[in-house]
Structure 1
Amino acid sequence: MHILLAASAFNSLTQRVHAELRDRGHSVAVELVLPDCHLAEAVDRHRPDLVIAPMLKTAIPREVWSRHVCLVVHPGPVGDRGPSSLDRAIAEGADTWGVTVLQADAEMDAGPVWATADCVLPPVGKSDAYRGEVSDAALTAVLQAVDRFASGTHVPEPQSSGRARPYLRQEERRIDWAHDSTDRVVRTLRAADSQPGVLDDLLGGRWYLHGGHPEDGLRGRPGELLATRAGAICRATADGAVWIPELRARRTPGGPAPVKLPATLALAGRLPALPELPAPPDTGTGAGPRTWSDIRYREDGEAGFLSFSFPGGAMSTEHCRRLLAAYREACSRPTSVLVLGGGRDFFSNGIHLGVIEAAADPAEESWANINAMDDLVEAVLTTTDRLVVAAVGGNAAAGGAMLALAADEVWLRSGAVLNPHYRLMGLHGSEYWTYTLPRRTGTGVAQRLTSEALPVGSEAARRLGLADRTIDCTPQAFADETARLAARLAGWPGSGSRIAGKKARREVDETLRPLASYREAELARMREAFFDPQAPYHALRRAFVRKETPDGTPPHLARPTRGRRTTPAPGQRPGITGPAQSSRACGPAGC
């Protein structure tokens, strides 16, 4: 079938639907529904068999839905209507939710139902849940609806009841620091963590607060700033405190959209002297008071686990340097397997474009950031005394995807999406990708992936060699699944010989072409883009971080594409042996 995706943005869910439908043999094109977009004309031009709207902020015009079946993905159960469905569910403390695929008609979110799927809502931020449990449910419902449409016999069920609730405005999101408990503040912040944030007064300014994590060990006058940690600020509540990782200034009339930044960076010049509190050691038991850290390390026998979680998956120069220090410390431990990642949300999206945009000299900050990323990737590539596993529970893109490929094995959750390319930001890319990507996929596939710049689903990633294992589990179960598999790998009798073989291969590769040569060639291209004021990178970066509306649908998305079941050529990727050989992990019940 030829399917047109109509979306307000090519966001995470739209990317996943795009990748999964292509993998199932459908021809898929995208039309961004922008202010100047005439959707009816676009639909006539594409002539689709079916229109799907994975994420659409506006109503589909009558002239479109009256002539074509248009399926709208609504992030709420049947009967729930309105633009702030998931926000309200999280703010109100719902622990279960659902997704409805309905047919567009005259009333928004009220059309007949083609498919539904339920999901749990764990205590995480809105964007994390949206990319995780909600995305899983949405994909299940979309695929069921597509199959039902293809059958030609299914009759969707009308909605018998429901309630339309209005947009959740800032007045309803306001935090009462003097009276609101930590749990209430955290729910409020999590319900707005990515967008729109919670508008608040702080240090004489008006700021949008992004992200919220509970803190049980610190106390103070409600609303008072208590400490900092890794760029975040800790603020007292009525009965405890919360960590807030990011802030965004309020937009001034006629001015550009402000950039979301680490809280201490956003408050530079305003922030009083506060203690910088390191995170307590991670015992791995989950016991003890609640607190927050973006980098954690724990051990279980012969396996070490270095987890990290940076807002939006963006890694600034400082993030990279701190993670590199933690990685080196982890490598000093007596383990045979080191798992990098393992969190449920973003693995990494590469350099921090927001921090770069806000820097006094964006070119210099770009250069510092990419070198810090390269230092981290180099450390992974040159680790020859243990096996390194990249556990990718959420999406990864650009340099973040290449960071994962530096590991000996990549374990990918079944719902994750990879974007292994840099072209859309006007960059050649670094992170040693010219070494790691072709050795896994072959040169031809590597060239196609980086030039087509399309999202890759988990099963396609495994087939292409971007992943060695897909783990079919919920986002919440991913850490436990990777821990179980890592313990098996560490206890496998052949691990020692495999580590020795890895070291030998690295020595041969270094003789053929030193890693420094790859880095030098990549960085030469990157430097040209960074330090040329006219290079497209600067305008593309600015448009991305300031959420500027594009002129139209990019040609690579508007062009219909179909998945290719490509198998990497023999010998193009490292041999995978032992207990990690299976391409699909066992479920929670075990192997």
Structure 2
Amino acid sequence: MRILLLCHAFNSLGQRLYSELGALGHLVSVEFDIADSVAEEAVDLFRPELIVAPYLRRAIPASIWGQHCCLIVHPGIVGDRGPSALDWAIQEGAKAWGVTVLQATGELDGGPIWASESFPMRVARKSSIYRHEVTEAATRAVLKAVDRYATGGFVPTPLDGADASVRGRARPLLKQAERAIDWQRDVSALILARLNAADGFPGVADQLFGEPCHLFDGWPEDTLRGGTPGDVIAWRETAILRATVDGAVWIGHVRRQQPATSLKLPATQVFAAHLATIPEAPLVSEANNRAPAGRSWQDIRYEQAGAVGFLHFEFYNGAMSTRQCQRLRTAWQWATERPVSVIVLMGGRDHWSNGIHLHSIEAAESPADESWANINAIDDLAEAIIRSDRQLTIAALQGNCGAGGCFLARAADLVWARAGILLNPHYRNMGNLYGSEFWTYLLPARVGVEGARAIMHNRLPMSAVDGVAAGMVDACLTGDPDAFRIDVARRAAELAAAPDLAGRLQSKCARRQGDEAVKPLATYRAEELAELQRNFYGFDPSYHVARYHFVHKTPNSWTPRHLAIHRDLGWSVPQ
């Protein structure tokens, strides 16, 4: 079928559905919901047989839903209605939640139901639950609804016909007054629930050092105590620790309320001047990068099981600042000196890596200079991984991976991806950024020159299955996150114990030496950085303009042509 994805933005769920529907043979085009007239024009051009709306912030006009079947993806259980479905569920501690696919009508979230899926809730940030449980449930529900529509004969269930005993209810927008934290009364678990429910957007309105701001990225703390509830009592790398009535919680990111253009940034970066008199709380075992006893905020940690080392790096939204790249490189070098024969780069649960930290770059005094420092720092890390000769290295992609993060992963000997994750192995969407991380060395070696050119110019998400088919990924493993980690550990242990390990390491070293003799890594790096120097310092400001719009979340004014195939000049409706 011809399926039009109508969405506010091409977010992770929209990308997943785009990939899944395309893999089933449907012809999929995307239109950003900018205005009624724009959406109406897209429908006229594409003449879709079905419209799917995975992420909208306003209602579809009657001029469209009155003439076409429009399936709305609502991140709530059957009967739940309103714009803050997931926020309410997290803040109120729901034990189970779900996703409902319903047909657009004149009643918001009140149309007949085509499919629904449920899942158990875990204690986690809204963005994490959205990327995992919601995305998986929504994918199952949408594919089921699409199949029902294509097959014909299915009659969707009216909302008032759903089981009233398990039905949700209409609830309004969750306002800041209802998200507010009372530091003098609220316990840590309640504070974390409110931070989790507001994570990503809109954050919790509060004050730090007497300055109004929004709080994000909360983490539990089991050991450190002291101070008056609400006070900042310690800091570590990018996060600050605030006392509560029964302990303390970490705050990883904040955004000043004024000026209105303020960015969400690491808390210690925003309030650096105020932390001069606040004690640092380095991890007791930070020297060897091991996880501490109990729960605490830690963005880089190391685990070891026999001859396998696991290096975890949980960077917010997968962005890697200059210092984070430098710290991860130090941790990597330390790991290579451990008595292990396999090292697994685990990344984080929600993201493996999305490359350089665009928010920190935008906030820098000289974004061009910070871009240059950041790209060199991530290049140093990639080079250290490429040059490692004593261990077999594996990148285990638990979460999505984009831009330079894809090629940082490819710097490892093997790349294993969890089924359901998405890769965006290209840079061009960021103002025709050329990119580095040795992609000109790593990618053609895996997929060939023409394959590399196609991937870099495609600008579309790639599923883990597609990544294997293209040669970008070595294996696609189970989609369940916990089962994936277990499988990765088992496979890594088998490689470490394999009798041919020594031979594999010898072959790896010989191949690297041969490649170096043909063209040194330093030459690849110099060529890539020469292109990037033009992006950062040249006359064309496209990268800086694109970065500004990205970090400030400027509303879309048009849909990119690689997504809106119906707007290609040569488009015609297939017969």
Q: Residues 475-501 of structure 1: CA distance to partner in whole angstroms, max 9, x if unpaired?
A: 244333322222222122222211111
Could you say which residue in structure 2 is the equivalent of 1:129?
129
Could you say which residue in structure 2 is the equivalent of 1:197?
203
Alpha-carbon spacing, 1:95–1:342, altered in 2? closer, same or farther (3 Å):
farther
Unpaired stretches in structure 2, ≥5 consecutive residues: 568-575
* Counterpart pick for 1:504 among 510, 515, 518: 510
Task: Answer with 372-381 or 150-159: which moved more.
Answer: 150-159
Alpha-carbon spacing, 1:505–1:285, altered in 2? closer, same or farther (3 Å):
closer
Aligned residues: 558
Percentage of pairs with the same residue: 50
Alpha-carbon spacing, 1:560–1:326, altered in 2? closer, same or farther (3 Å):
farther
Aligned equivalents of 1:152 and 1:444: distance in 2? 42
Could you say which residue in structure 1 is the equivalent of 2:462?
456
Aligned equivalents of 2:186 and 2:539: distance in 1? 48
Matched, 1:4 2:4: yes
Give the residue type in structure 1 aligned to 2:197: A
Aligned equivalents of 1:41 and 1:281: distance in 2? 60
Counterparts of 1:89-488 in structure 2, within 5 Å, are 89-160=89-160, 162-220=168-226, 221-252=228-259, 255=260, 257-281=261-285, 288-426=293-431, 427-488=433-494
Aligned equivalents of 1:184 and 1:314: distance in 2? 28
Query: With structure 2 as the length reference, what TM-score do the two structures score?
Result: 0.94
Matched, 1:26 2:26: yes
Task: State the shift of 1:251 in Å.
Answer: 4.3
Task: State the shift of 1:204 in Å.
Answer: 2.1
Task: State the shift of 1:18 in Å.
Answer: 0.9
Task: State the shift of 1:290 in Å.
Answer: 1.6
User: SS of the counterpart of 1:200?
Assistant: strand
Aligned equivalents of 1:13 and 1:251: distance in 2? 31
Alpha-carbon spacing, 1:55–1:464, altered in 2? closer, same or farther (3 Å):
same
Contact 2:291 2:303 in 1 (8 A): no
Aligned equivalents of 1:470 and 1:412: distance in 2? 5
Task: State the shift of 1:280 in Å.
Answer: 4.3
Could you say which residue in structure 2 is the equivalent of 1:547?
553
Aligned equivalents of 2:344 and 2:315: distance in 1? 17
Matched, 1:67 2:67: yes
* Counterpart pick for 1:522 among 525, 528, 532: 528
Contact 2:115 2:145 in 1 (8 A): yes
Contact 1:344 1:478 in 2 (8 A): no
Task: State the shift of 1:189 in Å.
Answer: 0.6
Alpha-carbon spacing, 1:128–1:37, altered in 2? closer, same or farther (3 Å):
farther
Alpha-carbon spacing, 1:278–1:484, altered in 2? closer, same or farther (3 Å):
farther
Contact 1:23 1:460 in 2 (8 A): no
User: SS of the counterpart of 2:21?
Assistant: helix
Give the residue type in structure 2 aligned to 1:366: S
Unpaired stretches in structure 1, ≥5 consecutive residues: 562-591
Aligned equivalents of 1:383 and 1:119: distance in 2? 42
Aligned equivalents of 1:49 and 1:464: distance in 2? 30
Q: Residues 182-212 of structure 1: CA distance to partner in whole angstroms, max 9, x if unpaired?
A: 1111111111111111110111211111111
Task: Answer with 149-158 or 240-249: which moved more.
Answer: 149-158
Task: State the shift of 1:129 in Å.
Answer: 1.1
Task: State the shift of 1:36 in Å.
Answer: 7.0
Q: Residues 143-183 of structure 1: CA distance to partner in whole angstroms, max 9, x if unpaired?
A: 11111111122221111254210111111110111111111
Aligned equivalents of 1:353 and 1:37: distance in 2? 33
Aligned equivalents of 1:476 and 1:58: distance in 2? 35
Task: State the shift of 1:279 in Å.
Answer: 2.6
Alpha-carbon spacing, 1:292–1:22, altered in 2? closer, same or farther (3 Å):
same
User: SS of the counterpart of 1:52?
Assistant: strand
Point out which structure has higher relative CO (alpha carbons under 8 A, 6+ apart): 1
The CA RMSD over aligned residues, in Å, is: 1.8
Task: State the shift of 1:504 in Å.
Answer: 1.0
